[in-house]
Amino acid sequence: MTTTAEPTPTPGTPGTTRPDPLDEIKIGGMGASRRRVEDNRFIRGKGHYIDDIVLPGMLHMEILRSPLAHARIRSIDTSKAWDIPGVRLVLTGEMMAARNLAWMPTLSYDTQAVLATDKVRFQGQEVAAVIADDPYIAKDACEAIVVDYEPLPVVVNPEQAQAPDAPLIRDDKTNQHDNTCFTWEVGDKTGTDRAFDQADLVSRITLHYPRSHPSPLECCGSIADFDRSTQKLTVYMTSQAPHIVRAAVALIAELPEHMIRIISPDLGGGFGNKVPVYPGYVVSILASILLERPVKWIEDRTGNLSSTGFGRDVYLDGEMALRRDGRILGVRMRSTSDHGAFFADAQPSKFKIGLMHSAFAAYDIPYAHLQATGVYTNKAPGGVAYRCSFRVTEAMFFQERMVQAAADDLGMDQAEFRRINLVKDDDFPHRTPYGFLTDSGQYEKCLQTALDAIGYDDFRRQQQEARTRGRLLGIGISTMTEPLGAGNSREYDILGIKMFDSAELRVHMTGKAILRTGARTQGQGHETTWAQIVAHELGLPADDVVVEEGDTDTAPFGMGTYASRSTPVAGAAVAMAARKVRAKARKIAAYLLEVAEEDVEWELGRFHVRSAPERGVTIQECAMAAYANMPDGLEPGLEANAYYDPPNLTWPFAAYVCTVEVDPLTGVWDVLRFVAVDDCGVRINPMVVEGQIMGGLTEAYAMASMQFITFDADGNCIGSNFMDYLLPTAWETPGYELHEVVTPCPHHPLGAKGIGECATVGGPAAYVNAVMDALKPYGVRNVDMPLLPDRVHEAIITGHDVSGAPPVRTDR
User: Could you list the residues that contact ligand CDP (CB under 6 A)?
Assistant: 524-526, 529, 561, 564-567, 571, 680-685, 688-689, 692, 752-756
The residue from 387, 391, 418, 582 that is catalytic is 387
The secondary structure element, H or E, covering residue 88 is strand 87-92
Does residue 388 carry a catalytic annotation?
yes
Q: How far is the CB of 686 from ligand CDP (least distance, A)?
A: 7
Quick check: helix, strand or coil at residue 27?
coil
C-beta closer to ligand CDP: residue 520 or 606: 520
Query: Residue 289's CB: how many other CB atoms inside 10 A?
Result: 16
C-beta closer to ligand CDP: residue 405 or 745: 745
C-beta closer to ligand CDP: residue 410 or 535: 535
Q: How far is the CB of 717 from ligand CDP (least distance, A)?
A: 28
701 phi and psi angles, rounded to 5 deg: -60, -40
C-beta closer to ligand CDP: residue 261 or 526: 526
Type of residue found at 520: R
Q: How far is the CB of 680 from ligand CDP (least distance, A)?
A: 4
Q: What per-residue string of b and e applies to 196-232 under the rule 16 or more CB within 10 Å gives b? A: beebeeebebbbbbbbbbbbbebbbbbbbbbeeeeee
Residues 94, 118 contacting (CB under 8 angstroms): no
Quick check: helix, strand or coil at residue 430?
strand
Residues 562, 275 contacting (CB under 8 angstroms): yes
The residue from 121, 757, 758, 791 that is catalytic is 757
Cα–Cα dist 758/738, whole Å: 13
Partners of residue 337 on adjacent β-strands = 314, 374
Q: How far is the CB of 568 from ligand CDP (least distance, A)?
A: 6
The secondary structure element, H or E, covering residue 477 is strand 472-481
Q: How far is the CB of 702 from ligand CDP (least distance, A)?
A: 18
Q: What per-residue string of b and e applies to 651-682 under the rule 16 or more CB within 10 Å gives b? A: bbbbbbbbbbbbebeebebebbbbbbbbbbbb
Cα–Cα dist 68/340, whole Å: 14
The secondary structure element, H or E, covering residue 583 is helix 572-593
C-beta closer to ligand CDP: residue 34 or 401: 34
List the Cα angle 26/29/30 in 5-degree steps: 125
Cα–Cα dist 622/12, whole Å: 6
Q: How far is the CB of 651 from ligand CDP (least distance, A)?
A: 12
C-beta closer to ligand CDP: residue 137 or 577: 577
The answer to whether the bond into 429 is cis (omega within 30° of 0) is yes
Question: E strands, 193-327, where?
Answer: 201-212, 221-227, 232-237, 260-263, 295-298, 311-322
Residues 725, 213 contacting (CB under 8 angstroms): yes
Quick check: helix, strand or coil at residue 661?
strand
C-beta closer to ligand CDP: residue 125 or 561: 561
C-beta closer to ligand CDP: residue 353 or 402: 353
The residue from 219, 220, 388, 680 that is catalytic is 388
Specify the DSSP class assigned to residue 276: S
Q: How far is the CB of 532 from ligand CDP (least distance, A)?
A: 8
Q: How far is the CB of 274 from ligand CDP (least distance, A)?
A: 12
Query: Residue 350's CB: how many other CB atoms inside 10 A?
Result: 17
Quick check: helix, strand or coil at residue 719?
coil
Q: Nearest to ligand CDP by Cβ — which residue?
A: 756
C-beta closer to ligand CDP: residue 531 or 581: 531
Type of residue found at 654: A
Residues 305, 709 contacting (CB under 8 angstroms): yes
The residue from 240, 414, 524, 707 that is catalytic is 240
The secondary structure element, H or E, covering residue 616 is strand 612-618
Question: E strands, 323-416, where?
Answer: 328-338, 367-375
Q: How far is the CB of 249 from ligand CDP (least distance, A)?
A: 23
Q: How far is the CB of 682 from ligand CDP (least distance, A)?
A: 6
Cα–Cα dist 724/703, whole Å: 13
Cα–Cα dist 8/4, whole Å: 12
Q: How far is the CB of 21 from ligand CDP (least distance, A)?
A: 23
The secondary structure element, H or E, covering residue 139 is helix 135-143
Integer CA distances (angstroms), 431 to 45, 366, 427, in order:
48, 9, 9
The secondary structure element, H or E, covering residue 602 is strand 600-603
Q: How far is the CB of 522 from ligand CDP (least distance, A)?
A: 7
Q: What DSSP line would sit under 355-381, residue for residue?
A: SSTTTTTTB--SEEEEEEEEE--SSS-
Cα–Cα dist 536/25, whole Å: 9
Does residue 387 carry a catalytic annotation?
yes
C-beta closer to ligand CDP: residue 494 or 590: 494
C-beta closer to ligand CDP: residue 264 or 524: 524
Identify the CA nearest to 725 among candidates 375, 386, 304, 384.
Answer: 304
C-beta closer to ligand CDP: residue 270 or 348: 270
Please give the positions annotated as active site: 240, 387-388, 757
